[in-house]
Structure 1
Amino acid sequence: MDGAIRLAIAAGFAAMPLLWVGSAQAASFDCSKAASRIEHLVCDDPDLNSLDSQLQGAYLGALDRSNHPLDVKQKQLAWLRQRDDCADRSCMAVAYRRQIKLLSAISDEPPRCGGSTTVEIDSCALEYSHRADRELARYLAAARNRLTDEAKQAPTPQAPKTALADLDVSQTAWEAYRKAECNAVYDWWSEGTIRGAMYQSCWLEVTEARTEHVWSTWLRFMDSTPPLLPDPTKH
């Protein structure tokens, strides 16, 4: 791969921020400060805890993928008012699941994806790769938060502490693998005009697979408790 192009691509990804979510118990607020009836219902029920965490992840993802984030915010506020009218946990659980499904389905094509030139196609592919990076960052943050919380609460905290350290090591190794793998793809296509698009396609595919693995390994439960974030393959 040409050195200048590699540096430009690497700089684009290095600029991506980590989007941290809240605690694994209830991602959208601190249960130690619960005040309203609804907040206490969420904090006192494990399933609602997890659904609330899922909802926060689905909402952040929808904001990121939508070309009209203000509409997403307004609809979310309207949904919160509807949820607050629920009289019991059953009504709330139904409302959460319905809203999570709606938010997870929001995925607009980026504005830069309307062209047909090589530069425009590469720009479009880069934006999808950026979205995938931001989503992976959210899922990794949730996994780290879960392990951190379990280390605080477990009678023997060494296991989650060690797992958290190992997760960070594995993420660093995975990032090196992704770079090497997609560089190989770029080099294979280096004499063609689609080399940039092929590189971004590799980046997107490998990143989405990593996000699904993080979700499956760290954000689901062995029992019927809902996962901490929505299934990333469902949008």
Structure 2
Amino acid sequence: MTRCIAALVLFAAVTVHAAGFDCSKAVTDMERQICADPMLAAMDELLAQVYAQALEASPDRKELVKGQKAWLAIRNSCRDTACLQAAYETRISDLACTETGSARGFLRCSSVRLKFAEDELALLEKQHARAVIDASNNPEHAQRVLAAESHAWRANRSARCALAGESEGGADEWKNAWALACEVDETKSRSAALRSQLGRK
């Protein structure tokens, strides 16, 4: 419960169609590309939240702003979606995972990584479901089966990772942090499996 509350407090729910800026006012090719891609838009929104929190907590805002400008130059040099996703994931981790030596810092880092992993999984599940339902002779049944499978997987993930957290020992905050890190790994594994089924790398 503590782990779930911490994640909710740290990060408000983000829809995969949001971005860290107003897409109706996008003027550059990069902004339009981000707004057109649900995953990039979600990552941009998450980065905006993490960056705002980092600014609030930073003892040296000028250096942080300088680093963000340097990162934007790197992002803007990307020529494909894979490069952009990698750039966002790196920057989000750099900002959120600066204090992983403490349970609170590790928990915050894992919360951010899980948010990213969940956004990616949600998109892949929708794409996979669309492909399965379109190919099914009984779309309603296929939809029910997929929903049940997704629910069962999440329940199993929670149970497995709760045990993994307990097995690490230590204070409850550390157990929660390890359990959340386990959920990140499990979520990424499921995404990889879905990408394989969809014929992607």
Normalised by the shorter chain, which TM-score bucket? 0.5 to 0.7
Match of 1:169 among 135, 148, 173: 148
Match of 1:59 among 40, 45, 52: 40
Contact 1:113–1:124 (CA<8 Å) still a contact in 2?
A: yes
- Tell whether 2:97 aligns with 1:113: yes
Alignment partner, residue 21 of structure 2: none
Quote the offset at 1:185 in angstroms.
Answer: 1.4
Say which structure is richer in helix.
2
Q: 113-122 vs 59-68, which deviates more?
A: 59-68
Where structure 2 has 5 or more consecutive residues not aligned to the other structure, the ranges are: 18-32, 52-67
Alignment partner, residue 162 of structure 2: 183
Distance 1:197 1:64, change over 3 A: same
Quote the offset at 1:170 in angstroms.
Answer: 0.4
Cα deviations by residue, 1:176-209 (Å, 9 ceiling, x for unpaired):
0011011111222343463233112111111111
Contact 2:39–2:123 (CA<8 Å) still a contact in 1?
A: no
Cα deviations by residue, 1:17-68 (Å, 9 ceiling, x for unpaired):
5536xxxxxxxxxxxxxxxxxxxxxxxxxxxxxxx9xx83563465356566
- Which amino acid letter does the alignment assign opposite residue 137 of structure 1? A
Between the aligned partners of 2:170 and 2:2, the Cα distance in structure 1 is: 14
What is the number of equivalent residue pairs in this alignment?
159
What value does the CA root-mean-square deviation take over the aligned residues?
3.9
Contact 1:61–1:104 (CA<8 Å) still a contact in 2?
A: no
Identity %: 18
Larger radius of gyration: 1
Match of 1:102 among 83, 95, 100: 83
Relative CO higher for 1 or 2, CA cutoff 8 Å, sep ≥ 6? 1
Between the aligned partners of 1:214 and 1:16, the Cα distance in structure 2 is: 23
- Which amino acid letter does the alignment assign opposite residue 37 of structure 2? Q
TM-score norm. by structure 2 comes to: 0.60
Distance 1:131 1:7, change over 3 A: closer
Quote the offset at 1:172 in angstroms.
Answer: 0.3
Contact 1:185–1:202 (CA<8 Å) still a contact in 2?
A: yes
Distance 1:145 1:174, change over 3 A: same
Distance 1:131 1:11, change over 3 A: same
Q: 167-176 vs 5-14, which deviates more?
A: 5-14
Match of 1:141 among 119, 122, 126: 126
Q: Secondary structure at the match of 1:105?
A: helix
TM-score norm. by structure 1 comes to: 0.53
Quote the offset at 1:118 in angstroms.
Answer: 2.4
Quote the offset at 1:216 in angstroms.
Answer: 1.7
- Tell whether 2:177 aligns with 1:200: no
